[in-house]
Amino acid sequence: MRSDISLVTVPQGEQQRRVRRKEINRQQLLLRPVEVEKLVDLDHPVRAIWELVGRLNLEPFYVEVESVEGVAGRPVWDPRLLISLWLYAYKDGVSSAREIARLCEYHPAYQWLTGLEVVNYHTLADFRIRHKEALDQLFIGVLGVLSHEGLITLQRVMHDGTKVKAWASDKSFHRKATLQDHLRLAREQVEQMGDPESEELSQRVAKARQRALREKQQRLVEALRELEQIEASRSKASEKEKARASSTDPEARIMLQAKGAYGPAYNVQISTDAQSKIIVGVGVTQASTDAAELEPAVERIEANMGDGPEQMVVDAGLTNQATMEAMTEKQVDLIGALPERRGIAVDRLKQRGVSSEFYPQVFEYDESADCYRCPVGKVLGYETQERQGATLRRRYRAKASDCRVCEFQLQCCPGTRRGRSLVRSEATPEIVAFQAKMETSEAQAIYKQRAGVAEFPNAWIKDKIGLRQFRLRGLAKVTLESLWACLTYNICQWIRLCWKPRRLAQA
């Protein structure tokens, strides 16, 4: 009997049967021929990525390479390979260098790329963060290809911001006193560190511990520096006291995220050309709102494309006076929604104990004198004004001497020694013109396209690439991570819209 067959006795009625069973042999050694070229089909996307990267100028990636002819040392991995590996991995939702190294051992697409070699994860991790300028140039190079294919026109660009969780946890955010305590402790630990050469532990472990402690100390120093910036951005002393910074990712900020939850995040700004939903600009900011992000977004598009957009379409979070002025100066047509007008702040008046008979609507505005008259005929003169979002808020105030002796003071302005004040919200001429434009059916039809275009890449990057949380820390590194993700997104659109149809036509 053959050695890979065994017999098993099973009862059948009053008799027994001897069944022949095939055995699994896991002790054997096999040598299999592998035809690397046939590991993936001809229309496999990994071929498209390799082809496109090969068409781009990769010279900037070679600048820092030290392995050159005539100098001792091992040759380096081809940047074309490392770029292709990262792009293909991101496309598959893999953003870990260790995971890519593992995939190189058995996954046909990765094996095809590397020619069955395995790339060390340190090499992959270093490559992802080392070439900021070269990666910017690569992004621009891909935009050039997409533009040449007719996928970008810049006639209409939709812009949106999306919050991506930082690697830091909520618990890593501390106030100044706690950060200072942690820093003191870390410094003491660093000072007490012995010589790694004399450690009982292996030198490698001792050096790793030293490095970790120094990095911790450095991050705490940075956290205190960031805390100063956060405090400086707050006007009220009580808010400054509450300021916190992360001890593990000092540049992350607490932001309002999806579903109304607050947490450590960065704000990723993405500009998408409406023609074929190609990303033409990406940036990352620490700002918790998008209010000031449109002008930098347009400048990024200009830098990437060598030309600016004709029209920008944005949501209410980006429509404000400053944005309108900036777009007018750049001769960019702005389409967007205005923030909803707030009604009279009745709740606040109630809280202050103001009686409903003295709410703002009973005060009469005199346009010729630009003042209000209160129910007893006293004048509330113009005091000051400020811009808030899309409106100009003008404050008027009665004389303290009038209110102090007024029989209605307790109902009208309780608890204040100054005279009664009220705020008149006015739309500026730019806002009035913008409102008129947005009332046209043409502008409304354009605005309706916004969500479908602007939110598509955001959702794609989060769902397909899995960029719901950054793997890296610090503004510079998360910007690189966003750039890799957007580059992958654009290449996937090129594969879908250009490369695949051409392959099908050739087949």
Q: Count residues contacting ligand SF4 (CB under 6 A)? A: 14
Among 413, 453, 478, 486, binds ligand SF4 (CB under 6 A): 413
Contacts of 184 (CB under 8 A, 6+ apart): none
Question: Does residue 421 belong to the site contacting ligand SF4 (CB under 6 A)?
Answer: no
Does 308 interact with ligand SF4 (rule: CB under 6 A)? no
Contact code string over 383-412 relative to ligand SF4, x by CB under 6 A: ---------------x---xx--x-xx--x
Nearest 5°: the CA angle 334, 335, 336 is 120
Nearest approach in angstroms of CB 356 to ligand SF4 is: 14
Cα–Cα distance for residue pair 394/425, rounded to 1 Å: 6
Distance CA 471, CA 480 (A): 11
Binds ligand SF4 by CB under 6 A, chosen from 207, 378, 462, 471? 378
For residue 390, which phi and psi values (nearest 5 degrees)? -95, 5
In angstroms, give the least distance from the CB of 360 to ligand SF4. Answer: 11
412 and 403 Cβ atoms separated by less than 8 Å: yes
For residue 472, give the DSSP letter.
S
The SS3 of residue 1 is: coil
Separation CA 324–CA 328 (nearest Å): 6
For the chain, the helix, strand and coil percentages under 3-state DSSP, each to the nearest 5: 50, 20, 35
Smallest gap, in angstroms, from Cβ of residue 352 to ligand SF4?
Answer: 13
Is residue 24 within 8 A of residue 471, CB to CB? The reply is: no
232 or 376: CB nearest ligand SF4: 376
Least separation in angstroms between CB 367 and ligand SF4: 19
Angle ∠(31,32,33) on CA atoms, nearest 5 = 125
Q: Look at the chain and count its residues.
A: 507
Say how far apart CA 479 and CA 493 lie, in whole Å. Answer: 21
Please identify which residue in 374, 390, 443, 492 interacts with ligand SF4, judged by CB under 6 A. Answer: 374
CA angle 203, 208, 210 (to 5 degrees): 95
Q: How far is the CB of 371 from ligand SF4 (least distance, A)?
A: 12
Find the shortest distance in angstroms from Cβ 410 to ligand SF4.
9
Q: Is 359 near ligand SF4 (CB under 6 A)?
A: no
Tell me the closest approach of the beta carbon of residue 310 to ligand SF4, in angstroms.
Answer: 51
Among 174, 182, 244, 420, binds ligand SF4 (CB under 6 A): 420
- Give whichever of 354 and 480 is closer to ligand SF4, judged by the CB atom: 354
Asked if residue 299 binds ligand SF4 (CB under 6 A), the reply is no
CA atoms within 13 A on the CB side of 2: 8
**Interface region with ligand SF4, contact rule CB under 6 A, candidates 9-17, 64-72, 266-274, 371-379:** 371-379
Tell me the closest approach of the beta carbon of residue 419 to ligand SF4, in angstroms: 6
Cβ closest to ligand SF4, residue 403 vs residue 461: 403
Q: Which residues bind ligand SF4 (CB under 6 A)?
A: 374-376, 378, 398, 402-403, 406, 408-409, 412-413, 419-420
